[in-house]
């Protein structure tokens, strides 16, 4: 048997300028990896630069070619070994992650099983939170987005970005948080994400000044490289402190777990479904729940498989792109997304003709 691993990239403009505390962007690139064997094709993807494409072609495809794709741990280990000298975190890790997701999907499709069935389900509907509220939005756009999630779709938890301009706009952060609370009412949960923009005590002061807003989730209040800082903030504020979206290997999550209330894992960065499951176990051993970061449709099957999952991030930018590029996407009405249990694999199919207009590699 021969397994063919191929990659290509699609760049989709945002529907409005998007930004957070430490980065701004006007387009997003999805790198799609296909794993094909004996007439079946598995799909996996990541969000990252087009540089992921040659990593798949040059480093991963050759070591996968002659393996049985049912032996997912053997395939994963061969790919990880091959990346040693390229450096696992970063572009190589994105490639590994998308390839592992494609191999899992290929196995499910070859056996005619929904991927969620192959992995086994802890739940058949996955809780989500609406995520957007970019620092680049004006008040009206933020209001319409949050009202859409909470009042139109019934999603009972939403997140906005704070820490604007590297943490130098605290009064605006506080007024945007207050506006978000006014929009969503008292019943929905308000989450905020500073993307590492604040300093340690600044982060604590911001949350004290926001005490009447009942914020429940405080993501990357300080840089996720500052583990003692995350721990300090966690111990001095009421909302749960969360981090982990830049985790590229298991040791990262093991190091971070003692400093957060909820560990975030991104299946498109951490090393794919294989490593997501192990990272979730690391969290469980520390008594933590995990939350899936971005790429909602890539997360659904593995999120359904993890007993200690809290929710998936229903990220505006990625929900939009995945809805444009794939058939088989789902909604999140009522705050839960159903897991595909009636089609092979992840249940998605690339809308190839439409996607071609966005192809960049």
**Whole-angstrom Cα distance, residue 48 to residue 246?**
12
**Whole-angstrom Cα distance, residue 186 to residue 213?**
9
3-class state of residue 21 by DSSP: coil
Closer of 41 and 264 to Mg ion (Cβ):
264
Q: At closest approach, how far in Å is the CB of 301 from Mg ion? A: 22
Residue nearest to Mg ion (CB): 193
Stretch that binds Mg ion, among 2-10, 216-224, 252-260, 321-329 (CB under 5 A): 216-224
Q: At closest approach, how far in Å is the CB of 68 from Mg ion? A: 37
Stretch that binds Mg ion, among 40-48, 215-223, 324-332, 351-359 (CB under 5 A): 215-223
**Any contact of residue 173 with Mg ion (CB under 5 A)?**
no
Closer of 1 and 23 to Mg ion (Cβ):
23
The full DSSP string for 75-105 is HHHHHHHHTGGG-STTHHHHHHHHHHHHHHH
**Whole-angstrom Cα distance, residue 133 to residue 138?**
9
Closer of 173 and 193 to Mg ion (Cβ):
193
Stretch that binds Mg ion, among 42-50, 84-92, 211-219, 234-242 (CB under 5 A): 211-219
Long-range contacts (CB closer than 8 Å, 24 or more residues apart) made by 142-148:
142/176, 142/179, 142/180, 142/183, 143/179, 143/183, 145/316, 146/180, 146/183, 146/184, 147/183, 147/184
Q: At closest approach, how far in Å is the CB of 255 from Mg ion? A: 18
Extract the tokens encoding 78. Answer: 């061969």
Q: At closest approach, how far in Å is the CB of 35 from Mg ion? A: 29
Stretch that binds Mg ion, among 4-12, 27-35, 191-199, 320-328 (CB under 5 A): 191-199
Closer of 80 and 176 to Mg ion (Cβ):
176
- Going from the C-alpha of 260 to that of each of 53, 159, 192, 256, 271, the distances in angstroms are 34, 18, 15, 7, 21
Q: At closest approach, how far in Å is the CB of 313 from Mg ion? A: 8
Q: At closest approach, how far in Å is the CB of 245 from Mg ion? A: 5
Stretch that binds Mg ion, among 213-221, 227-235, 324-332, 340-348 (CB under 5 A): 213-221
Radius of gyration of the chain (CA): 20
Q: At closest approach, how far in Å is the CB of 315 from Mg ion? A: 9
Q: At closest approach, how far in Å is the CB of 354 from Mg ion? A: 29
Closer of 105 and 219 to Mg ion (Cβ):
219
The number of residues that bind Mg ion (CB under 5 A) is 2
Nearest by Cα to 247 from 273, 279, 295, 222: 279
Nearest by Cα to 121 from 138, 108, 134: 108
**Any contact of residue 275 with Mg ion (CB under 5 A)?**
no
**Whole-angstrom Cα distance, residue 292 to residue 287?**
17
Closer of 76 and 314 to Mg ion (Cβ):
314
Distance of CA 217 to the CA centre of its chain: 16
**Whole-angstrom Cα distance, residue 249 to residue 213?**
35
**Any contact of residue 193 with Mg ion (CB under 5 A)?**
yes
Q: At closest approach, how far in Å is the CB of 195 from Mg ion? A: 6
3-class state of residue 1 by DSSP: coil
Binding site for Mg ion (CB under 5 A): 193, 219
């Amino acid at each position: 048997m021969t397994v063919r691993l191929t990659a290509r990239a699609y760049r989709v403009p945002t529907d409005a300028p998007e930004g957070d505390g430490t980065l701004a962007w006007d387009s997003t690139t999805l790198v799609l990896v296909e794993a094909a064997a004996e007439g079946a094709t598995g799909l996996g993807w990541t969000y990252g630069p087009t540089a992921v494409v040659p990593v798949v072609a040059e480093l991963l495809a050759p070591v996968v070619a002659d393996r049985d794709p049912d032996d997912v741990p053997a395939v994963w280990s061969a790919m990880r070994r091959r990346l040693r000298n390229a450096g696992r975190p970063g572009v190589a890790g994105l490639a590994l992650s998308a390839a592992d997701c494609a191999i899992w999907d290929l196995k499910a499709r070859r056996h005619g099983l929904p991927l969620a069935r192959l992995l086994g389900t802890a739940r058949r509907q996955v809780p989500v939170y609406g995520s957007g509220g970019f620092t680049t939005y004006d008040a009206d756009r933020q209001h319409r987005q949050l009202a859409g999630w909470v009042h139109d779709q019934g999603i009972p938890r939403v997140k906005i970005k704070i820490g604007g301009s590297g943490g130098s706009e605290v009064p605006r952060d506080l007024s945007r948080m207050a506006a978000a609370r006014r929009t969503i009412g008292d019943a929905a949960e308000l989450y905020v994400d500073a993307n590492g923009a604040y300093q340690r005590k600044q982060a604590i002061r911001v949350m004290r000044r926001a005490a009447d807003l009942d914020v429940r989730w405080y993501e990357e209040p300080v840089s996720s490289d500052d583990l003692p800082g995350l721990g300090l903030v966690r111990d001095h504020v009421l909302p749960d402190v969360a981090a982990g979206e830049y985790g590229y290997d298991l040791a990262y999550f093991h190091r971070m777990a003692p400093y957060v209330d909820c560990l975030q894992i991104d299946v498109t960065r951490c090393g794919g479904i294989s490593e997501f499951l192990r990272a979730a176990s690391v969290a469980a051993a520390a008594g933590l729940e995990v939350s899936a970061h971005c790429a909602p449709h890539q997360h659904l099957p593995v999120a359904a498989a993890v007993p200690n999952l809290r929710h998936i991030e229903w990220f505006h930018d990625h929900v939009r792109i995945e809805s444009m590029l794939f058939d088989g996407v789902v909604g999140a009405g009522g705050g839960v997304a159903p897991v595909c249990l009636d089609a092979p694999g992840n249940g998605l199919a690339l809308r190839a003709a439409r996607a071609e207009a966005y192809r960049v590699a």
